[in-house]
Structures are given as structure tokens and as C-alpha cells.
Amino acid sequence: MPLVATTYSEKDMRLIETAYHHLLETVEPKMDDEDRAMMQKAYEMALDGHSRQRRKTGEPYMLHPIEVARISIEEIGLGPTAAICALLHDVVEDTEYTLDDITEAFGKKVSIIVDGLTKLDGTRTFESPQAENFRKVISTLVIDVRVVLIKMADRMHNMRTLGAMPRHKQLKVAAETSFIYAPLAHRLGLYNIRSEFQDLCLKITEPDVYQEIAEKVQATESGRTRYINEFLKPIKKQLDEAGVAYRCFGRVKSVASIYNKIKTKKVPFEEVYDIFAVRVIMDVEQKKEKQACWLAYSIVTDAYKPIPERLKDWVTVPKSNAYESLHTTVIGPEGRFVEVQIRTERMDEIAEKGFAAHWKYKGVSNQPDVYEKWLDQVRELMENPSSDALEFISDFKNNLYAQEIFAVTPAGDLINLPKGATALDFAFHIHTDIGYHCKAVKVNNKIVPMGYKLSTGDKVEVITDKRQKPNESWLKIVVTGKARSKVRSAMKEERRKKGIFGKEAIQRKFNNLKVNFDQGVEALVKHYGFRSHADLYYALAKEEVVLNDLLKPFEVKMHKLVEIPVEKPKQEGEKTAAEKPKISAKTKILVNGEPAELYHYKLANCCNPVQGDNIFAFLTSSDGLKIHRSSCPNATNLLAKYGYRVMKAEWVISGDSTFVAELKIIGVDEGVGVMQQIMNTISSEMGINIRSFNIQGGDEGYFEGKTSLMVINTNQLNQIIKSLLKLEAVSDVMRIK
């Protein structure tokens, strides 16, 4: 956050010292005398470095590293070394202290972690600075995972205190969090951290939705508590009779999780019955864990009828992030579906603290080290990183899958893959060479296409041929980060080999013209927008471009290619800086406080913003400025990868403009009369202009219609939705996003 020069008052110091003492109390059980001395030294260095800095909220900056250290210890479960690094995490970036100072005072181990937590040098330019910073953090993942875990704590505190930031910056930070930090928290088993990330992101992107659901969750608390107590009575009775130590309780799901259910199931809040889960935690020794979990399952399903297809056994085969638990859904009192999670105290600690707790129990469980397998995959990506940071981040993100399947090799080994993985992904997972030379795949003894999507339990056999090699179409088949990275590398190597001929052609031409080769190639790449020198060479080799044509806009001066200046004609209607228009009655949107008419701008077709929607402006590379809704399906990707292109946008309230909005309408098919009722409500009763309308009915008493309307603002759109929902034949109306 931006810093303001200041000195800390006595009141500030009391706040800082109170926070620091709380941190010491939190970490005290894990410290020895050397740790205590190092903690104090780190505190004093950070306090000295940040002594004239304040956060955007106005509070002393020193409170931030202290709180990051506390989250690292208390909420993530790390130890004293992590707390020391958290206290120092902004020192190199924001103060006069250097990395050498850190190394001298605290040693190499702390220095490596702090370096990983320090952002890239701002003097360098990158296509996507965020992606480059993500890549730097991820590169430290295989050296010391604590870098990423402390980064999680840092991001969590920033998200909790984001209210002081401008709206467009809040959207950018929330998008980064949703794009990489929440999935990474899930992959590292930090479920509480992931859930809070998702909630805080929703609170920023769709504040009205978040507030509405949060209020309804709070309003239904007393009734929910009564229901859970009633549900648990027969279960507790049987567990007591079995004579096992246990604890059980109900836990409300996160607001973001509830919202996701509302969207996917297309039902209102009142019809989402599984907004909580019941958890049964058994306190038994490790060798009796599996037996105890299945005993509890038997007791639960004796008390209530289970839904067999909703049983998830992650005790026998844990998730790839070490999560172990039995999940089942049963039909409870009043016919309500209730999800029950059954685990042991050890499993619960790993589920709550993820990777940090995993180290505590390393070697205790009889399960293979699933984190090591995943880190091996990350190492493979790091060994052959893409020159494009955005591609690298995309490959890495594909390794952060939430849902997974288990395929089986001919030898009977279980292979863990993300849901949606293909037969070709399986081949690359087994070994890179098997992937490269994959000619055909058998699934359950039948030949299938390479793009065949695998399901849990599929037995997969890969048939190879040394003459086979990857091609461009494979990138459309594979979904895992490893496979995409390997195929892309193979394609680049193939392009490089073919590009040698193009490079030789340029060398001959530049020798004849007496042009410096490196300068000339750089000039061509920059002028024509090639992504790399290799792309230019490849285009020439494939005769996609002609070298003489490429050289036409240039002349040779002093052994260099220099662009021939071309006077750009003034476009009709183009205004000079002095003629820039002021905000007028026609202005609908302000961008960075100025009329959007100053820019070449459009409303994005992917989300069709309507006056009243939360919006942001995004500067595209070739099509001017696009105005997107904050909740646009593409928003997270744009804001996370290209946050530097995002600009603040806001509506100028006026009633003389109309916008396109699309609605989906679902209901009971009553024949021709339904369409007439809907159109009458929209057009005749409300006076709304209908751009298009189509409806599909069936023999099953169900219809689905889509309509495109011209509306003034979101208030009018919401009124249309409410009016349509009053029709007896209509069961649901939703805005198409």
C-alpha cells in the first residue's frame, strides 16, 4: 500500500507493543532462547525501518508485519522462523535495509525466505508485473514452502484491510486473490484461509449479494442451531454407547460457498438446505483411525437414511492436498439433506492447518507423501519455465485443481489427476517421454481418442511409438499444467529448428545492407509486434511474411534500421489536448474522473454492463477501452494478469441512455399463453423495448426462454425480474452474465 512519511506517537507505540506482545504469547510455546533473541532483533529492525511509514488506513505500518506474523503462527500453524521472516517481509522492499543486512543479522535461511517475499525490482518492465511476481514467489515454493505460506498471511491481512483502497484497486487485489491465492490455499490444504479469501473477494466484487446472504445466514442462526441439536441427538447417544471419545458440531458454510450453490442449483437462499455441515471428530490413536471413522459412519447411517452416491471416501485414498475425511449426505428430520463429515483429530488438524500440520504428522500416516508428489510436479515446471510468465502461471494454476479423479495403471497403481483430465494428460503424468510418443490410449481395454476425459476407476494403458511427436492440436487436448508445459516446450523447440532457416535469411540480408544484426532484428520484432525473435524467424521460414516487405517502413542509417517517419493525418473529429471535451449531458461513464468519450471505448459484450452495475475500465492492446462489470466472467483473469491496464470507471447518472441486458426465464410450459404473458409483462405493462425473444418448450412440462432488453439501469432491470417472477408459470428469472 502507498506509504506516508510520519513518526510514531506514544499512542502508536502502545498499539504496536500490545500487538507484538500478543504475537509473542502466540509463538512462545514453539520458541527457545535463540528464537526469542532473533524475534526481538527482527522486531527492532522492522520497527526502525518502518518507523516513518503508515498504511493507507492511517494506522502505523509496523502493525502490518506483526499481524502477518500472527496469522502465520495462529491461523496457518507455522513456527518462530516464519514469524521472524514475516516481521521482516517488507523491510528490503520498503526501507533502507538490504538483503545483505538481513543475511548478516539473521543468516542465509531467513535471507532466502525474505528475498522470496520481496517483489521484483520496479525498474524492470514486464508484460504482466503481477505474473512475474507470482512466478518469483512460486519459484521459491520448491526451496522453502514457508515463503508461500507467509505470502498467504500477507495477502490475508491486506484483504481484511482493503476498505481504505480505491474501488478499482480493490477489484485488482481481489482478482489476484481469487485467481491464484485462493486455489493455492486449497492446494496446500488451508481450507479456512481459502474460504475467507473467497468470502472477502465476493464482498468486494458483489457487495450487495454478499451482504444479503450474510444477513440471511445470521437471521436463520437460531433455527439452524435447534435443527443441528435435534439432528445430533441419536448420533451422540449411539457414540456414547460405543464408548469412543468424540466431539461433534454443526458448521455454517462460507457465504461464497452458499452463493455458489445458489448459482449452480439455480434456487433462492431459502431452498439451499445444505448451508451447514455436521462434523464428527473421533479422538483415537493412529492405527485405529480408519476403523473409528467407519464406525461413526455406520452410526450416522443407522440413524438417518444415506444417499449412496454422495459418499466420498478420502480416508482410504486422501485428496492430493493430504485431506482425509469421510463425507456422506443423509436425509435428516423434515426431509432435509444434511452433509456429515467424519474424521479424526489428526485428520482435522491437517484439514484446518494443511501443509503446516502435514509436517507435524509426517511419517505418522501410512499414506504416501502427497505434497512431495505435487512439489515434484512444480519442480518440473520450474526446470523448464516458459519465457512467458503468463503461460507459466497458467500452467501452474492448472495444478491447483479442487476436484480430482483417480485412474489406474495396468500395474494397478492409482494416478491422481484433476477432474476433466484426458487420456493424453495421463500419458504425460506417467512420464514425459511416454507423453511425447503417445500414439494411442486404451481405457478399460478399448481404444479411445487422446482427448477422452477420464473418470475415477478407469484403467488406462498408453501405446507409444518413437516416431510419434507432439503437435499444435495437443494443446487443445491436455488440461494439466505439466502436459501443457511439455507440449508447449516441444512446439517451441520445433519452431526453433524451423526458424533457423528464417534467421539465416535475415543474416544474409543484413550482411548485404551492412546492418547490425541484433539491432535490426529487435527493430522488426518491436515494429510488427512479434512476441519473440523466434516467432519472427519462424514466420519467415514458413513464408508467412516476406522479408523485403518487412523492411519497407525502414531505412539504413549508421548500420542501423531506422523507421521512416510518417506524418499521421488528423482523424476527423479528433481533438487536441486543449480541445478535450468537458463532462456533458451525453457523458455516461467517467474513466479516472474524465469523460469516457476521451477514449475509444465500448461496453464489453461478455457482460453487457447496465447503468448501476459496479464497473471497471480495461485498456485492451488493440481495441481501445472496454467497460466490464466487476462480476464479469472474465474480470478475474483480466484484473489478476493485467492489473496495470485497469482504470477506475463510474457511471454518470442519467435517464436518457439505454443498455442491453439479457435474461433467462424458466418455468412451467403452458403452451402459447406463456410467451404472451411474458411479452405482455415486459413490453405492455412496463414499456420496455424487447430486442429479441426466443423460447423453447418440451414434452416434459418445462420451458426455457431468453430475451434481450433495452433498460435504463439496474433498478429497472430488477423491477422487470420481480414482475416476471409474479407470473404463475415462471419459476426463475436470472440475468445472463
pLDDT in tens, 35-89: 999 999 999 999 999 988 888 888 899 999 999 999 999 998 888 999 999 999 9
Taking the CA atoms of the chain, what radius of gyration do you get in angstroms?
30
Task: Tell me which H or E stretch contains 24.
Answer: helix 10-27
Is residue 116's pLDDT more than 50?
yes
pLDDT at 402: 60
Tell me which amino acid residue 396 is.
F
Contact 24, 74 (CB under 8 A): no
Q: Domains (ranges, CATH) in the chain?
A: 10-204 (1.10.3210.10), 214-360 (3.30.460.10), 370-485 (3.10.20.30), 490-563 (no CATH), 582-651 (no CATH), 659-735 (3.30.70.260)
Identify the pLDDT of residue 213. Answer: 92
pTM: 0.72
What's the mean pLDDT in 193-220? 92
Phi, psi values for residue 282, rounded to 5°: -95, 140
Q: Measured between alpha carbons, how far is 60 from 679 in angstroms, rounded to an integer?
A: 59
Measure the CA–CA gap between 501 and 505, rounded to whole angstroms. Answer: 6
Gap between the Cα atoms of 330 and 95, Å rounded = 57
What is the rounded (10 degree) CA torsion for 246, 252, 258, 264? 20
Q: Assess whether 90 carries a catalytic annotation.
A: no
- The single-letter DSSP state of residue 124 is S
| 603 φ, ψ (degrees, to nearest 5) | -80, 130
Q: What is the pLDDT of residues 474-483, one digit of tens each?
A: 988 998 888 8
What is the three-class DSSP state of 157? helix
Least confident of 212-221, 241-250, 709-718: 709-718
Q: Which of 365, 348, 377, 397 is nearest to 186 (CA)?
A: 397
CA atoms within a 13 Å half-sphere pointing along the CA-CB vector of 681: 21
**721: which residues sit within 8 A by CB, 6+ positions away?**
663, 733, 734, 735
Which residue in the list 48, 94, 313, 522 is annotated as catalytic?
94
Tell me the three cell numbers of residue 76. Answer: 496457518
Report the range out of 340-349, 553-562, 577-586 with the highest average pLDDT: 340-349
Report the alpha-carbon distance of residue 630 to residue 609 in Å, rounded. Answer: 9
Higher-confidence residue of 22 and 400: namely: 22
Q: Exactly one of 48, 93, 369, 404 is catalytic; name it.
A: 93
In this structure, what C-alpha cell is assigned to residue 149?
A: 505460506
What does the alpha-carbon distance between residue 649 and residue 633 come to, in Å, rounded to a whole number? 18
Report residue 585 as a C-alpha cell: 449531458
Tally of CB atoms within 10 A around 109: 14
- Return the higher-pLDDT residue of 389 and 339: 339
Q: Is 270 a catalytic residue?
A: no
Which stretch, 317-331, 385-399, 565-579, has highest mean pLDDT?
317-331
Q: Average pLDDT, stretch 260-272?
A: 81
pLDDT value at residue 1: 37
- Residue 51: partners with Cβ closer than 8 Å, 6 or more residues away: 7, 8, 62
Q: Are 581 and 597 in contact (CB under 8 A)?
A: yes
Q: In terms of Cα–Cα distance, which of 556, 519, 555, 524 is closest to 537?
A: 524
Model confidence at 571: pLDDT above 60: no
